[in-house]
Structures are given as structure tokens and as C-alpha cells.
Amino acid sequence: MEFDFDLTTIFPTDIVKIGLDMLPVNLDRTATHYKNLSLIQQRISHVVDSMGNASARAQDLKQAITSASKVRAHSGEHTVYLLIDRVAEHGLGSVVGLLKVGKKNLFLMDRQGMQNEVYSMCILDFYVHESRQRSGCGRALFEYMLKDQEMGPQFMAIDRPSPKLLAFLAKYYDLSNPIPQVNNYVIFDGFFNNNNKEC
């Protein structure tokens, strides 16, 4: 997705984690060309909103799951990662993907049908631009998030995964045969083995 401003000056790396303040966490705030931080925040908010809307369209949702205001409202519990192509658009860059994760309090059943209350890391929104799907971009973004969160995908709950995401998880992480739930979340075997203890 292209924008009418230079993305390479506001996103210092190919994959960026966006902070609650709508700035990349690895932005060198002392660099002279980053003087106008409020303009950068405004532009990144616009990028997050636009990608959130595109993700909602791709999933046939009436409302976007991701927006700058929703990230702020969850005061640090939700994290957005963006994948940038820094050489596209004649060097202005384009935004290729968005991934939002965050902690949620959930009631989830184990394979035996026992209900557990957990405060779990969740995959909340995941989108790669239509022009770049099935070319490894989603995997690059997802792997970055896993390293950053220091967590295996089997320990995460996935909010209403699309058929494409289910195929993605089966292909790369051997996650299939979900444990049935009464809510929209999907979990796999191994979910309760690690950090997802009862609250």
C-alpha cells in the first residue's frame, strides 16, 4: 500500500514494532531529521488506520480490528508490527503487511472439554497486501513477532482465523486439528503446556 509521503524516513527498518505513542520503538528520536515527531505520529496513525481498514475489507468485516485509536485505548496491551518494502514506489516505500498481537482474558477449553480462564497472548489481526500474498511476506512478519515476543505459536490463541491463516499455521508451524471452543478463538495442542496458566 502506497502513501503520498516518504515511508523510508519514518520507518527505519523493514519490520517495525509500533509503540503506544505511534512511533517505531527503534526510531532514533535524537536524529535531526526526526525533529517533527508529531507529524511522524500523524503519518504512522494514518498508515495503521489504512492497513487496518484494508485488513477488515480482506476479511469481510464491517469494522476494522486495528486502528491507531484502538491501539492507544489498550494502553500497551496490544502491539502492532508493520512490514515495509523500503525500495518500492521509486524509493518512497510501501506498506506490505500488518500484524497485531495482544493479551486477552479468555475462557478456553482444553482437549478434555475442561474450561480454563487464561490471560493469553493472541493473534488479533494479520494482513498482507493482496499484491504480495503467498510470497513469504506473512511468514517474515510472523517470525519477527514470535522472536520479539519470545513465544511459540502454539501458545497463542487466534481470534477468528480465516481459512488462509489456518493454512498458513498448518504449513509453517504444523498447527492443525484445533481444540473446539465456544467462542471465536482457535487454539491447538500444546496451548496449555506453557505460560497459559489459569488466572
Encoded amino acid at 15, one letter:
I
Q: Closer CB to ligand ACO, residue 133 or residue 149?
A: 133
Say which DSSP state 198 is in: B
Least distance from C-beta 101 to ligand ACO, angstroms? 9
Residue nearest to ligand ACO (CB): 138
Q: List the alpha helices (DSSP H) in 68-186.
A: 68-73, 137-149, 163-173
Q: Closer CB to ligand ACO, residue 27 or residue 106?
A: 106
Q: What cell does 13 get?
A: 527498518
Rounded Cα gap, residues 194 and 10, in angstroms: 37
Q: Closer CB to ligand ACO, residue 87 or residue 167?
A: 167
Least distance from C-beta 153 to ligand ACO, angstroms? 12
Scanning residues 123 to 162, which ones bind ligand ACO (CB under 6 A)? 123, 125-128, 133-139, 158-162
Q: List the alpha helices (DSSP H) in the chain.
A: 7-10, 37-58, 68-73, 137-149, 163-173
How many Cα atoms are found within 13 Å in the side-chain-facing hemisphere of 4? 0
Selected from 89, 164, 181, 189, the binder of ligand ACO by CB under 6 A is 164
Q: Which residues bind ligand ACO (CB under 6 A)?
A: 58-59, 123, 125-128, 133-139, 158-162, 164-165, 167-168, 171
